[in-house]
Structure 1
């Protein structure tokens, strides 16, 4: 259950929601000064700009399927005075990246919605130099994510993605992901557990607006009659209130950092 990266609610944002995860990913990637970095599903470009700041003698290139998010990313990069960063409105599954251009491909929850993950990761792999790295963060299973369980129990309905829509948990299973990446031309696939909370806003009202903006939340509420939707909203407000503490509304979550290398020919 995610909100698209270009949507903003007073009091919170996608970057604010993932503030703890962002720091974990940054440390795991370990950007180097001469790296040329490809950021998949970059949203408004926070992770891309971080890469550009560290890879001062290299570059950072972010792509996202949301045109408004890309426009915002460009504005923020200009405001920061970054000259080694660029953004493009593109679908990483099929975009014709320059071959063997990048040392590193990163993604913060931007790779779970590929229609054909093997083809998509193979396309990304071709953009990497031999032995180039892939480091991405993806959600673990829905039942391990308190935010998903709580929202579903409040509103009712199937697990996100179970009805055939976008599935934020499509890369949750390590053996399946390992096979996908191997088939796409990656080796040395490794998983690191990430146990950090997500932030939904400074108060219950902001958190409710934020959660109601999730695509899957909207779809579930649309399936209810007006009276049932009102009751679901009240239950959701109660759940959010139960997770309010002195610094806002937080929910437990579990994710993976998945790291791999482009397979070298002949090895």
Structure 2
């Protein structure tokens, strides 16, 4: 666990316990695979960053987006709930000799960011977990200069993301694939364009726009590599299965992974939104 003095909104306490605990440790262990899987989305995001920009990276995780922003000549600050992920982010920045980056443990919903200090706030799949997203984006807006920019990558609906539906279908056995709650913190809480416009607009942003982006998710070069990762990530849904059913569904998962092997690795389809907006100058 990280610094217990970190200010956390009570509604995000469960998220902090998870990301600054077992989920964070999982992401550290599998950081290379997770960064590779989402790598296709990085160019769509960092193109919004200019040389000389002060950048705030929300939910930065192990810091791939923060470092990418700095490589474009920005001064980048990454913020995340997970101490272990931030430790890896700092080590990676040092090993890659990426300058002008810093990493801060905090809850972006309530963190005391310096006011009007940043030109742009970015997030790659890290902004969907706030208990009160309007309050969180309002706090992020306060950290931006008037007219400052917001750029987010958020998942589209689960049904449009093959990497979720195919893997869950293999592991579900006889059970239907559960849909995540519409507005509760989850990877898909900002999948509805109308809700995105409502939340981001209510937080003080203007010119909210969404553009569809689709990229293949690569989970490994071989069936063994991809199966090891996917079974570790999604396998907990089988915790209450008996051994016979577990054997059957994991065999189904391996067969599905094999069916997705291409010359470029094991690829599954995915779909996201690039959300852009700017802080209102009257805020």
Is 2:257 the counterpart of 1:240?
yes
Partner of 1:203: 222
Query: Is residue 44 from structure 1 mapped to residue 39 from structure 2 by the alignment?
Result: no
State the partner residue of 2:80. Answer: 64
In the alignment, is residue 19 of structure 1 matched against residue 39 of structure 2? yes
Q: Provide the TM-score with structure 2 as the length reference.
A: 0.85
What CA distance in whole angstroms lies between the structure 2 residues aligned with 1:34 and 1:103? 9
Cα offset, 1:155, TM superposition = 1.1
Conservation of the 8 A alpha-carbon contact between 1:202 and 1:249? yes
Q: Given the superposition, is the C-alpha separation of residues 93 and 252 from structure 1 closer, same or farther in structure 2, using an over 3 Å criterion?
A: same
Query: For 1:132-176, what per-residue CA distance to the aligned partner results, in whole angstroms no more than 9, with x for missing partners?
Result: 110000100111111111012111153363499852111111111
Residues 237/165 of structure 1: CA separation in 2 closer, same or farther (3 Å cut): farther
Instruction: Rate the CA distance shift 1:122–1:213 in 2: closer, same or farther, 3 A.
Output: farther
SS at match of 2:219: strand
Contact 1:9/1:209 (8 A) holds in 2: no
1:169 maps onto 2:185 in alignment: no
Q: Deviations over 1:71-120 (max 9, x none)?
A: 11111112233331100122212211111111100000001111111111
The whole-number CA distance in structure 1 between the counterparts of 2:68 and 2:144 is 19
Instruction: Provide the secondary structure at the position in 2 that maps to 1:94.
Output: coil
Of 88, 107, 114, the residue aligned with 1:91 is 107
Alignment length, in residue pairs?
Answer: 257
Instruction: Structure 2 unaligned segments of length 5 or more: list them.
Output: 1-22
- Distance (Å, rounded) in 2 between the aligned partners of 1:177 and 1:223: 35
Q: Distance in 2 between matches of 1:8 and 1:203?
A: 19
- Residue 128 of structure 2: aligned partner: 112
Asked if 1 retains the 8 angstrom alpha-carbon contact of 2:171 and 2:235, the reply is no
The residue correspondences of 1:118-267 to structure 2 (distance < 5 A) are 118-156=134-172, 157-159=176-178, 161-162=180-181, 166-214=185-233, 217-265=234-282
Pair 94,213 (structure 1): closer, same or farther in 2 beyond 3 Å = farther
Does the 8 A contact of 2:121 with 2:151 survive in 1?
yes
Please tell me whether the aligned partners of residues 65 and 90 of structure 1 are also in contact (alpha carbons under 8 angstroms). yes
Which residue does 2:29 correspond to in 1?
A: 8
Higher RCO structure, 1 or 2 (CA under 8 Å, sep 6+): 1
2:72 to 54, 60, 80: 54
Residue 266 of structure 2 aligns to a residue whose secondary structure is strand
Q: Is the 8 A contact 2:131 2:185 kept in 1?
A: no
- Unmatched runs of 5 consecutive residues or more in structure 1: none
